[in-house]
Each structure stands twice: as C-alpha cells, then as structure tokens.
Structure 1
Amino acid sequence: MACLFRWLLRLAAALILLILIASGLAYYLAAQSLPEYDKQISLPGLSAPVEIIRDNANVPHIFGSFGASDEDVYFGLGYAHAQDRLWQMAVLRRTAQGRLSEIFGRRTLESDLFVRRLDIYGLSQQSVSAQSVEALQSLKAYSAGVNARILEINEDALGRGAPEMFLFNMPMAPWQPADSIAVMKLMALRSSHHLQDEVLRARTSLALADPERLQDILPDAPGKGITTLPEYASLFPGLPRYASAAPLPPKSSLFPVSPRGFGGASNAWAAAPNRSAAGGSLLANDPHLTLSAPGSWYLARMELATGGIIGGTIPGIPAILTGRSEQLGWGITASFLDDQDLFIEKLNPDTPEEYLTPQGYQTFTKRPSIIKIKDEPPVTLTLRWSENGPILPGSLFGLSAITPPGHVVSLGWTALDPHDTSLTAAIDLMRSSNVSQAIAAGEGFIAPSQNLVLADRTTIAQKTIGAFPARDARHHSKGRLPSQGWQRVNRWLGRAPYAANPEFTSPRGGILGNTNNKILQRPFPSHVSYSWGDTQRVNRWRRLMQSREVHTRDSFMEAQLDTVSYTARSLLPLIGADLWFTGSAAEDGSREKQRQTALTLLSEWNGEMNEHLPEPLLYAAWLRALQSRLIADDLGPLASEFSQVDPLFIERVYRNVEGAGSWCDVRQSAPQETCTDMARLALDDALIWIEERYGPALESLRWGDAHQATQDHETLGDVPVLRFFVNIRQSTSGGDNTLQRGLTSGKGPNPFQNIHAAGYRGVYDFADPDSSLFILATGQSGHFLSRNYDDMAQLWRRGEYVPMSLDEDLARAAAVGVTKINPRN
C-alpha cells in the first residue's frame, strides 16, 4: 500500500511538473508575439525613414522624416495596426472573403455561405480601380506597412504575430488594397438592418389577426409619416395568412450581420463658437458597436503633408474615421438610411434558372464558388444574381416564411457597388481643412451611410453621406416590405444626387447633433428612412443642450456620460398610473408587500440608470415582462423576435393610440384584461424573476450586477480557462435609451447584459485643440498578455478620458517607446 501511495505521489508530481512546463512553454510562445515598441529596424516598402512614437496610452504618433511622403506615414499606420491587431485584421479579412471555415470548421460555414453570395470580396477587388490616384497610393503604402510587419514576424520568429495563431493554423497572406476595401464593406454589412426589418415586418403582418395592429408593434418614429401600407398577404396571396417561422438557430459570434436592433448607432453633437464658453467650436462623438475584446476601434495620430490628424481608426482601414486635425473635427453616427430592399423574384415554372423581369424571363447570372472546410470535404456553392441583386436562401433571416412557392428572394444594397469609392472619400475627408471641403469629400462615400457631424473653427454642420437609392414614387411597399421584383415600379432607378442628402449648416441656434433619431420628414421616395434607430435619447439630449446658454468641453463630456432615462421618466407614470400607493397593508414577505416595495422605490426614482441603484433593474425587468405579456398571445412564436422593449409600442398601448389598448386583452382567455391588470401581472413576473436570480432584498439590488459590459474575445471567448484571460467584464451604468447607451441583449439567462455601447468616445475643443480627449472601451492591443489589452477599460467605465494632443513634444515626453523604421534597399 505504501509503495502504491509513493508511485501515485510521484505520478501526481510528474503530472504537475508537465503541466507547469506546458504552461511555461505556452506562455513563452505567446509572449514572443508581444510587440517591442522601442527599437530601430529596416524594412522594405519605404522611401524615407518613419518614426512611431508610442505615448503612455500606447497611441502611435506616426512621423515621416525629412523627405518622407504621406505614403510613408500610411506605411507606419499599417505597421502599427499589424503590431497590435494582426489577428483581428486576419479574421476581418477572412470574414469578408468568406474563408473562415478553412480555420474554424463547420461552425462558421453559414457566415461563409452568406458572404460568398454577396460577393463582398470580388466587388472589393473590382473597386480598387475606382479609387483616386492618391487614395490608391495610400492603400498600397498601408498594405506595404502591414506586410513589412508580417515579414519581420517571419524573419525574427516573433511568435507568428499573435497567440491565436498557435491555436488556429491561419496562414497570413500579404495584405492588399482590396482587403481594406473589403473590411470597409464588412463594416457596412455589420451596421445594416433594413433587410431584417423588412423580413420581420412581413412575418408580423402575416401573424397578426388584426392588420391594423402592425403600426403598434412596429411603429413609425414620431412626426408625420406614412399613412397607408398594403398588407403583405395582399402582395403575395399564396402565403399562409398566419405564417411565422420557427426561431432561427443561434449564429456564430463571427457571423457578419448583427441581430436586428444591434446594427450601427452613435451620438454626435457640435456647438458653434457663439454657444461655446471659450469661443471655439466644440464636437463630441461616441460611435456604438457590438462590444468585443479587442474592440473595433484603434487610436492613432498621423502627421501628413496637410498637418497632423488624430482619432479613431478600424484596423485594416487606412483612415481616421472619427477625429480631428488642427482645423477640423468630424464625428459619425449611423444614419439609418434605407439602403437595402428585398425583392421576391418569380421563377419560370418551366425553367427554374429563369426569373421574371419587366422585359420577360431572364436567366440568372451564375458562377460556382468553392468553400473549403477544415477537416471536411469542400462545399461547392452556386452563386446566383438577378438584375436586382444576389439571391439569398430561405434558411437565412426567416426568409422561407415570407417567400411564396415558385419564388426566391434577392437583395438590393448600395454597398454591392463594384465602383465603391468610400475609402477615397474617407481619405479625402482627412485632408480637408474646413467644413465645406469635408462635405464635398463625402460625395464619394457609398456605404455604410453615416451622418457626418463637422466642426471647424467657425462653422458646424451635419451632412448625411452614403448612396441614396432612387425609387419610384409608385413603389408598392415604399421599401418597407419585400416587393415584387418583376414590377418596374419596385425597381431602383439608380442613385439619388448627393445634393439631395440631408444637410444642416450653421444652424441659427448654434447647436446640432444626432442620436440616431429621425432627422427630417420628406415624402417618399425622397425620404431617408421609415425605420430609425432611436426615438428617446434625443429628448434627453435636447434638454441638456438647451439647459445652458454656452457649453464647454466638460459639459459635452457630461452629456456623453449622462445616464438619466427619459424613457423611464415618461413610461413609468403611464404603466403604473393605477398602481401607485393603492395597495392595502401587506405582511412582510408576501407578494403584495414586494410589489408595494418595488412601486415605492420606483416612485421616488429620478430615472438615473446608475449601476449602484436597484431601481434600474426593477424598471427594466418590469418593462421586459410587460412587453412579453402584451404580445405573447398575438404573435405566438414570433414574439421571441421582439426581445428589445420598444418604448413607442408601450406608449401607444397605454395611451390607447388608435385602439392600441387592445393589446392588453388576452384573446385566448374568457375575461377581458385591462392594461392595469397586465401591468400588475408583469410586475409580479419581474419580481419573481429578480428573486430567483438575485434574492428578495429589493433595496440591495445593483443594476450593474445585471448590466455587465460583455467585452468578449470573438474566437476565444467561449474556450474554457482561456475565457478568463481574454474576456473583459465590468459593471456599467446606462441602458437602452440613455445617452451613455448600454444596449442590453434582451435574450437568454442574462437579458440585461450590456453588449452594444460606445467603444470610442471623443470630445474636441477648438478653443484649445490640445485639451481634446478620447478613450477606448478596452485598450490598444489585441494581445491578451499585453498591459494595453484592457488598460483603458476601467477609465472608460468610470467616464474618464486620455489626452488627444497633436503636440509632438508632449508625445515624446510621455513616450513608452519609439520605433524607427528605415528603408531596406
């Protein structure tokens, strides 16, 4: 027995030793790819030396030496991107190419199939020749910088450039200009949403017993809007009247289309000098994207011939997309332009390879595409295009439920342009020195469509950039539902002139901005959209902007970080109108007592979605339970698609706008329920859910415990053990409809996790430009062993910023490393 014990002890010791050795080896290999920032190196692709100064926030300040060109500075940006985010860039490129399955296997096949059908990479290759000479030179120089870093990694055995490269065998091909264009198109795809909106509107139209109720559950933004719309069933009579597809299978985290409601968003506002305390223009911007680690944004400063520029870039794209120079600041918000249409294509019953057009039956444009899958045989996909766009399979987005027999669905989308000059426009914008030049530069921008908010030293402006589809005024569904592709009136008529894009310059009040709200009302087809991103935040923004005669950098920061929910302030009095202080005395621990405690807390709450308070969790759980009760009987399985609480829907129901109060009655039950009944039942649902999850002590609840920011690694975030090193989680304030927006997931066991927020914040002050500030949600590095992987996360959470200065001396004084790159002949 003693002998057996000794051998078991030796075996355990040997095992522990092996684990320690393996762990040490893994750490050593992973650490080899940590970038060294303080060095001198010679690399091919330069015409003159370049210097990259890393300040104490690890922001690269890129300078060319005497005799250097702008192309050398772009080379430096490509090198810096590849130093810190090589894995992220590799995944983005493979996503756009539809080649993820070569690395990740069948779990990403759905993504590859979809992207190949859109031919994103093929269109990007065609778009290279459409760029201006200057932009193409910048793209080539940027690519040379990326490739120089790849060469350095290979020559010096720098751990394959990223620790993920050891876990996934991903050969890194040289970067090309088409890759950057493809990443830009991928950003457009991730921020698009009208495809999903059209499908959901059609499915909901079919599911509702009373078609008039469609305007309640999918309401228009406030203001004069469309008054009539055909029922989807009337356009395609062959469909089942109450069709609703089964819930869609969960997508891979790398699937390039965001769920409905999680596309692009953002805040941006500007103040003219007459509304600024210091007499200089002010600009604030915080773009909202799905949170991840590393984040989408990367901070950089470039010293070009036109001067220094600094701000937020996306690795893979050689442009500062939001930032400032000495003369100009620019910010972006999602415009929600309706730039996508679904077309139902009628097949020839005798020849399914033909589809009906206004000129008769035509043959689909077809070509094969082979998708390689790790450890499995390849899949051959036949790509089909009609005159309206690529054909999509019924398995995507629930399309099968709205497609009549003998028909298929095609997608019209402005980003599917083989002459996409968006990157040229982005590079021209950086070289602009005033508002008028910046607006002119935006003409070449195709997708994603954005509201460009601008400020120079004297002027502020907002211009919507991106291609506007020109539609026929007689369009059957006004672009809101899938339409008959063979009808001429439904087809696009090209692109509307850039001059027709909404523009606001030098407003009389001296302040302008956008929170994804409806910006104007124009009749179809001159409209921008019928589906806007947010109807709530703008009310709080308007109040904050008008509460002061003049603004400062600090007041703009306070607005970015504001967590007061206008929505909570407006909805709680409605849904609780008959519940406040009306209950009889109740025993401790009883359901009635819990309800009274919750109502008392909410009645004394000011609507601030602070992470340390219990009221935001009570409010959010109540509203979620209420919407679920209101729609469950009418929509059935389709109700799961409405995971986000829509304030306009709740308000219409509780104000009984055009009979919307009928949602409160459960059609399948004998008694007639009132809206007060539904509010009380929903509150009980919420309290039961909270007690099961957090316990019965309502006063000790913390919103931040539920509202955790989930900045997860897209490929390693679910891997046991590793996920504790690569995922960043933190308690956050804000909510779905606050200016400091933290959009909740709405689904699963953690429905209030913060999964979509401002990954970048910037405030630019032209009274003292070097006092401008910015911050990222994570950090500059994509390497999880780097201290810069998450060093900004807590600053971001606390609402702090880092300096955004173009002062070279300040950058050198605080440098944590200087990389000098010399040309290699």
Structure 2
Amino acid sequence: MATLFRWLLRLTVGAILLGLVAFVLTWWFFARSLPDYDARTRVAGITAPVEIVRDHANVPHVFGSTDRDAFFALGYAHAQDRLWQMTMLRRTVQGRLSELFGRRTAESDVLMRRLDLYRAATRSVEDQDGQTRAALDAYAAGVNAWIGEINAGARGRGAPEMWLFNQPVAPWQPADSLALLKLVAWQQSDHLQAEVLRARTSLLLDDDRLRDILPDVPGPGLTALPRYADLVPDIPRRHAAAAPRLDPLAASLPAALSGASNAWAAGPSRSATGATLLANDPHRLLTAPSIWYLARLELRSGGVIGATIPGIPLVLAGRSADLGWGITAAFADDLDLYAEEVNPRNAAEYRTPEGWDRFETRDSIVEIKDAPAVTLRLQRTANGPVLPPEQFALDTIRPRGHVMTLAWSGLSEDDTSMTAGLRLMQARSIEEGIRAGRLQVAPNQNLILADRNRIALKTVGAVPLRDAAHQSQGRLPTLGHVAENRWLGRLSYADLPQTTEPVGGLVGNTNNKTVDRPFPEHVSFHWGDTQRIARWRGLMQSREVHTRDSFIEAQLDTVSPTARALLPIVGADLWFTGEPAPEGTPARRRQRALELLGEWNGEMNEHLPEPLIYAAWMRALQERLIRDDLGPLAGAYTHVRPLFIDRVFRDIDGAAAWCDIRQSAAEESCADIARMALDDALIWISETHGGDLDALRWGDAHEARQDHPVLGQAPVLNWFVNIRQSTSGGDNTLMRGLTDGRAPNPFHNVHAAGYRGVYDFADPDSSVFIISTGQSGHPLSRHYDDLGELWRRGEYIPMSLDPSLARGAAVGITQLLPAAP
C-alpha cells in the first residue's frame, strides 16, 4: 500500500509539473505575439522617420513627415494591436470564414459570396482619387510591414488565435479596406429584414392590425400600402418564425441589432463658453475587442483624432483642430427586394419589362474545414444578386417559380465612400465637410458637424430614386419585371436632409425621423427611433446653455421615456386595486411590484429592481398580445414595440382588439391582459432571479456581454477573453444598452455605444473619448480591457492633439525608420 501511495504521489506531482510546464510554454508562445511598443525598426515603404507615440491608454499618436507615412504607420499600429480582428473581418466579407471554422460559418460565407461585396470593392479601387489611392496603398504597406516582422521574427504568428487556427495571412490590399467599409454598411442596414417582416406579417393580418404592430412613424407624408399578397401572387402561407442567430462572425445581424447611434451639437448661442460642442456615440454589436480603435494622425492638413475601425484608414468619428464630426445611422431606404420570375422553359432566364433575359452567372467554391467544399452558382439580374432562399426567411415570402434578388446602394462598383471619408478628415469647415459627403455611397449616415462657430446636420450616402408609381413604395418586396418597381437613379445630394445653423442653436439625431416629405422624396418610411429623441429634446431644452459636462450627462442618461409613457396607461386599472393579499401569494407579489413601479422615475439604473420588473412585464405583455394572432411569427418580434403597445392601450383605430384572446371563449380586456402579463413576468423573475423583488438588480440581467467572437465559447479560454459587466440603460435610453431579446437571457446587453466622444471647441484639448474594451485585441495585453471599466462607469480619457501630453505618459514610442538603401 505504501508503494502504491508513493507512485500515486509521484504521478500526481509529475502531472502537476507537466501541466505547469505546458501552461508556461503556452503562455510564452502566446506572449511572443505581444508587440514591443518601444521598438526601433527599419521598414520599406516610408520616406522619412515616423514615430508612433502610444499614450497612457495605448492610443497611438502618429507623427510622420508626409500623409503617406502617417497612413503607413496607422496600418502598422492597427496590425500590431488588431491583426486577428482585421483578418476575420476580411474573411467575413470575402466569404472565407468556413476555411477556419467549418460548417458553423457556412451560411455567412454563402451570403457574402452571393452579395459579392469583395468584387465590388476591388472594382471601386480605381474610382478613388489619387490622394485616397495613395493613402490606401500606404496603409496596406504598413499592415504588411508588421506581417513581415511576424513572419521574420517568430512573433507568435501575430496573435494567440493564429496558433489555434493556423492559416497563412495574405498581404493586405487596398481593396480589403474598401470591402470592410462595405461590410460595415451592410451590418448597419436593416431594411431587408424590415421588408421581409412586413411582408410576412401582412400575410396574416388585415390592414388595421398591420398598422398597429408595424405603425408608421408619426408625421405627415405617408400613404396607404397594398397588401403583400396583392402585389406578389402565389405566396405560400407558411409563417414559421426562423429566429435569427446572434453570431458575431455572421455577415448579417438580426434587424434590432443593426446600426444605431446618438449625436448632437450646440452652437455658440447655446454653449456656456460661446464655442460649439458636439457629442457622438455610435452603437454596434458588443465584442471583445471592440470594433472601435482610438487613434490620432498628424496629416499635412493638421492633426485628426477619434475612432477608427482596424482595417479602414479613416477616422470615422472624431475631430481636427477646426472641425468635429459625429455619425448616426440615417435609416435611409437604400434597399429593395424583388421577386424575379424564372422562365419555366429555361431556368437560365428571368422575366424583365422587355421579356426574358439571361441571368448573369458564375461559379464560386466555398472551402469548408472538415467537410466537402460547396460550389455555388452565383446569379444576378439587372436588379441585383439572387439571395439564398433559406436566409432572412425569404422562403416564406417567395412566390412559386421565382427567386429573390436584392438591390442595395452598397453593391455599387464605383463606390467613392473612402474618398469622402478622407476628405472629411481634411475638412476645416462645415462647408468643406458637407462637400466631402457628396462622394459618400454607403453606409447612409447623418453627419453632425461642428466647427468653431457653427453646427450642421447632413444626410450622406446614395439614396435610390423610385418611380412615383412603385407598387410598394419600397416597403415590401415587389415583382422585379414591373418597370415601375425599378430604380430610376439616385436622389440628388441637395435633396438629402440638411440643417445648417439651426435657429434654436441645437441639432441632433437619435436615428429618429429627419424629414417629412411624400414618397418618392421621403428618404425612408422605416426609422430607427421614436423614443430616445423625446428624452434628448427634454434634456437639451432643460438648460439655456450647455457645457461639455452637460453633454456627457445627456450621453450617460439612463431614464427611459418609454417606461414613463407606457406604465401609466398599461397599469391604469391596476394601481392601488385588488383585495388585500397575504405575504407570499401571487397577488401580494403583484401588489408589491406595482408599488415599486408606481414610485419609480423610469431610471434604468443597474442597482434598481424596477427596471427588471418593467422590462419583464412589457416583454410578457407583448407576447400575450401577439402570440394568438401571429402564431410562430411572434418569435420574430424579439423586442418590445412601444408604439404598438401605446396604440393598443389607447385603443387607437380599434387596436384594443389585440387584447382579446381569439382561442378563449371569454372576452379579455386590456386590463386583464396587463394583469396576466405582470403575473407571467413575476413568475419568470422568480424562476430566474429569485423571489425577493426588492433584492433584484437590473444590472444582473442587463449584463454587457463583450465576448470574443471565436474563443468566447471555448471552455476555460472564455474566462480570459470575454468581458462581462453589470450595466445601466436599456433599449430606449440615451445611454442605450440594447437587449438580446431572446430566451434564455433576453435582457443581456449586447448592442451599445462602443465609442463615446464629446468635443469642446472652446478648449479642444479638453475633449474626451472612450471605447468599451481596450485598444489591444491580445487577451494577454494589459490594454485588452483596461478602458472597459471606465466605459462601464461612464468615464472618459482625454482626447488631445497636444504632442507633449501624449509623450508625457507614453507607454511606448515606436520609431519606424526607412529601410537602408
């Protein structure tokens, strides 16, 4: 027995030692890919020495003697910190993820191959002006210089992920950057999903009830629509809801998780200092690392600082010494779906207004790890590419004998958006900034501009011009062979919304409706916000003048105007009613919940119980209202629709009919449904978060999930790479933290302001910004998540163009020297 014990002890000690050795070796190999920020390196592609000064937050400040050298260094810095992220974004838009990840990403690859964004980007390179092509070439050379150092210097293959997914990294090309900008535009738009959802819903409801669940944004200029079944014949009546998967590697996202943002500016008359102010916080899917990367470039036109996306050589939101710019998703309707009739006698042809024409066709091979390759037959019509019927639930709205095609401005093969972005970085006034936007194609955005004395808002991006006789006005899929449904060109840039030097001294956008014009000059019927704008107006008008701090306060505001508006009407017949109930009974819990909500001011604070009770109630209420009418399609309505609930409980145009459950013999009132939904919510809360209502915390349910897109689901590794934080805010607060919307964790915060910036032109170097994670994409770097806690607490770091401040607390200075002749 003693001998056995000694051998077991030896084996245990040996296993522990082997484990420690394996851990140390793994750590050492992974740490080899951490860049040395104090390096002095000779590189080919620059004309004179360049410095990359990384300040205390690891924000690179690039100083070069020419613009080409500055863009070279930006590419070098992006690759140092985010090479894996850049290569994954490139693989996404190329449709090549499955070479690494197998069948999991095959759907994304198929979609990207059919959209063919990468080929459109390649063909757009020559459409950039000379200065932009030079910047793209220099940026690519900088990325490739770092890749070359990795290959030559055994730097751990560039990132820890490269050890797990060992594939060679192809040199960066100018087209890669253009393609990434198109991918950003694609993921920002949700008009395709909106068209499909409207079509599917219209197959089940009459016009009045369709207007309830998908109401028009209040305001004039709207006209009646035909039913989808009247537009497109032979529609199958299937309506099984295909719930979208939330996968950060996917090329498309659920509609609710597309682009959103806030931006506003104050002119001198509304500023305490007499100079302009600007605040901006674009919203995107939360990931670790963030999609955003802070950087400063010293160009011939002056210093520029702000938010970049690795792989794209632009400061997309930021400022120079003279001009600040913020961006919001414009929600302009730049997309149409078409049902194209296939010739029953020749499947290679489709119907056009002039008769049958041949599909443009070519093959594309998708390589899939550990599975046979798939050969796709890519088809295009004059309207656009043929989409896979199994995606976006297109098979539920596709008529027999037809395929579905997509027309989208972002498919343009003469896309000059990169040139527009570069010219905006060099602009010194509002006029120059607006002129730069003329070249924007995709994404469609609202530019909020502020120079030292004036403010403006301008919508930029290509918006299609539709025929006044268009059968669905762009809101539903239509037949592709009907001439009136096809685009006539683009709205002129002058016709896109613009506000310069507003009379009230304030301008802003929260993805709300920006213009009231009749179709076809309407810009859009589908807008991203009807709620946050109300809170913003109230905060802006609550002060005669504003400061940087008041703008920060508004940016971090967590009061829900939706809760304040809905609770009084939903609970109108429930407050202070009902018989006394003993402790521990469902009736007593309901009374306590109503007491808490009755004293609540609508603040979605992470430490309070009321936001969770409210959110769970509204979610259960909408489910009760729509499930019996929509059946499985109810699953596609993942988020609460405030205008719908408002219409129902105010009985606008008979909308209270939603409260009666069709399958029951009794006639339920809206008060009945509200009470039952509250009980549903309290049961769910008890089962999920515990029975003590007063002990609940919204932040426990509203946890920000900044997960690594690849390693975030791997056991053990996810402890190191995922960033989880208790957060305030909600779907409709200015500090927006959009919830997942689906079981089992419907209130996880998955889509928020990954970048925040506030610019003060009275003292530009007192401007501030922040991102939601850290600058590095390397999980072993101390800069992987060092900004995340500041972001969670609503804190910022300085946004200064002063070189001495950057150098004063630098974590490293990289010197790039021209290669020896």
Pairwise TM-score range, normalised by the shorter structure? over 0.9
| Preserved CA contact (<8 Å) 1:38 1:817 | yes
Q: 1:365 aligns with which of 360, 369, 392?
A: 360
Matched, 1:556 2:551: yes
Partner of residue 467, structure 1: 462
Matched, 1:730 2:725: yes
Query: Which segment drifts farther, 211-220 or 778-787?
Result: 211-220
Matched, 1:76 2:73: yes
Give me the whole-angstrom Cα distance separating, in 2, the residues matched to 1:685 and 1:487: 48
SS at match of 1:713: coil
Partner of residue 486, structure 2: 491
1:253-652 alignment runs, 5 A limit? 253-652=248-647
Partner of residue 90, structure 1: 87
Give me the whole-angstrom Cα distance separating, in 2, the residues matched to 1:484 and 1:371: 30
1:797-812 alignment runs, 5 A limit? 797-812=792-807
Matched, 1:159 2:165: no
Give me the whole-angstrom Cα distance separating, in 2, the residues matched to 1:587 and 1:811: 64
| Preserved CA contact (<8 Å) 2:447 2:460 | yes
The Cα of 1:11 is off from its aligned counterpart by 2.2
SS at match of 1:508: coil
Partner of residue 240, structure 2: 245
Partner of residue 37, structure 1: 37
The Cα of 1:816 is off from its aligned counterpart by 1.2
Give me the whole-angstrom Cα distance separating, in 2, the residues matched to 1:198 and 1:444: 27
The Cα of 1:528 is off from its aligned counterpart by 1.4
The Cα of 1:373 is off from its aligned counterpart by 1.4
| Preserved CA contact (<8 Å) 2:263 2:328 | yes
Give me the whole-angstrom Cα distance separating, in 2, the residues matched to 1:135 and 1:757: 31
Partner of residue 52, structure 2: 52
| Preserved CA contact (<8 Å) 1:207 1:243 | no
| Preserved CA contact (<8 Å) 1:338 1:529 | yes
| Preserved CA contact (<8 Å) 1:45 1:141 | yes
SS at match of 1:186: helix
SS at match of 2:183: helix
Equivalent AA in structure 2 for residue 607 of structure 1:
G
The Cα of 1:212 is off from its aligned counterpart by 2.1
Q: 2:230 aligns with which of 225, 231, 234?
A: 234
Give me the whole-angstrom Cα distance separating, in 2, the residues matched to 1:580 and 1:303: 61
Listed as ranges, the gaps of 5+ residues in structure 2 are none
Q: 2:142 aligns with which of 125, 142, 145?
A: 145
Matched, 1:658 2:653: yes
Query: Which segment drifts farther, 580-589 or 327-336?
Result: 580-589
| Preserved CA contact (<8 Å) 1:37 1:817 | yes
Matched, 1:191 2:212: no
Give me the whole-angstrom Cα distance separating, in 1, the residues matched to 2:608 and 2:77: 42
Query: Which segment drifts farther, 564-573 or 3-12?
Result: 3-12
Matched, 1:204 2:201: yes
The Cα of 1:802 is off from its aligned counterpart by 0.2
Give me the whole-angstrom Cα distance separating, in 2, the residues matched to 1:403 and 1:255: 23
Equivalent AA in structure 1 for residue 384 of structure 2:
G
The Cα of 1:219 is off from its aligned counterpart by 1.2
Q: Deviations over 1:224-275 (max 9, x none)?
A: 24231111111123124x4303424736431111101110000000000111
After superposing on structure 2, the runs of 4+ consecutive aligned residues of structure 1 that deviate more than 4 Å are: none
- Report the identity percentage: 63
SS at match of 1:391: coil
The Cα of 1:13 is off from its aligned counterpart by 2.1
SS at match of 2:711: coil
Matched, 1:174 2:171: yes
Q: Deviations over 1:410-464 (max 9, x none)?
A: 0000000011110010001000000000000001110010000000011100000
| Preserved CA contact (<8 Å) 1:248 1:398 | no
| Preserved CA contact (<8 Å) 2:241 2:635 | no
The Cα of 1:2 is off from its aligned counterpart by 3.2
TM-score for both structures, normalised by structure 2: 0.99
| Preserved CA contact (<8 Å) 1:41 1:821 | yes
Equivalent AA in structure 2 for residue 534 of structure 1:
D
Q: Deviations over 1:638-666 (max 9, x none)?
A: 00000100000000000011111100000
| Preserved CA contact (<8 Å) 2:558 2:603 | yes
The Cα of 1:155 is off from its aligned counterpart by 1.4
| Preserved CA contact (<8 Å) 1:617 1:703 | yes
Partner of residue 121, structure 1: 118
Equivalent AA in structure 2 for residue 91 of structure 1:
M
SS at match of 2:672: helix
Partner of residue 16, structure 2: 16
The Cα of 1:9 is off from its aligned counterpart by 2.5
Equivalent AA in structure 2 for residue 239 of structure 1:
I
SS at match of 1:513: strand
Query: Which segment drifts farther, 432-441 or 152-161?
Result: 152-161
| Preserved CA contact (<8 Å) 2:31 2:780 | yes
Give me the whole-angstrom Cα distance separating, in 2, the residues matched to 1:697 and 1:189: 44
SS at match of 1:389: coil
SS at match of 1:207: coil
| Preserved CA contact (<8 Å) 2:53 2:812 | yes
Equivalent AA in structure 2 for residue 213 of structure 1:
R
Equivalent AA in structure 2 for residue 733 of structure 1:
S
Structure 1 225/576 Cα, relative in aligned 2: closer, same or farther at 3 Å? Answer: farther
Matched, 1:667 2:662: yes
1:204-223 alignment runs, 5 A limit? 204-208=201-205, 210-223=206-219
How many residues in Structure 1 have an aligned counterpart in Structure 2? 820
Q: Deviations over 1:457-502 (max 9, x none)?
A: 1110000000010100100000010001000000011112111111
Q: 2:777 aligns with which of 774, 782, 801?
A: 782
Give me the whole-angstrom Cα distance separating, in 1, the residues matched to 2:227 and 2:710: 42
Give me the whole-angstrom Cα distance separating, in 1, the residues matched to 2:815 and 2:126: 33
Equivalent AA in structure 2 for residue 31 of structure 1:
A
| Preserved CA contact (<8 Å) 1:78 1:146 | yes
Listed as ranges, the gaps of 5+ residues in structure 1 are none
Q: Deviations over 1:119-140 (max 9, x none)?
A: 1111111000000000000000
SS at match of 2:304: strand
Partner of residue 704, structure 2: 709
1:741-780 alignment runs, 5 A limit? 741-780=736-775
The Cα of 1:4 is off from its aligned counterpart by 2.9
SS at match of 2:562: helix
Give me the whole-angstrom Cα distance separating, in 2, the residues matched to 1:451 and 1:608: 28
Give me the whole-angstrom Cα distance separating, in 2, the residues matched to 1:248 and 1:463: 36
TM-score for both structures, normalised by structure 1: 0.99
Partner of residue 5, structure 2: 5
Equivalent AA in structure 2 for residue 588 of structure 1:
E
| Preserved CA contact (<8 Å) 2:241 2:634 | no
Give me the whole-angstrom Cα distance separating, in 1, the residues matched to 2:216 and 2:709: 34
Q: 1:815 aligns with which of 786, 807, 810?
A: 810
Give me the whole-angstrom Cα distance separating, in 2, the residues matched to 1:250 and 1:454: 36
| Preserved CA contact (<8 Å) 1:192 1:257 | no
Q: Deviations over 1:311-358 (max 9, x none)?
A: 000000000000000100000000001111000001111111110000
Give me the whole-angstrom Cα distance separating, in 2, the residues matched to 1:207 and 1:392: 24
Give me the whole-angstrom Cα distance separating, in 2, the residues matched to 1:99 and 1:586: 61
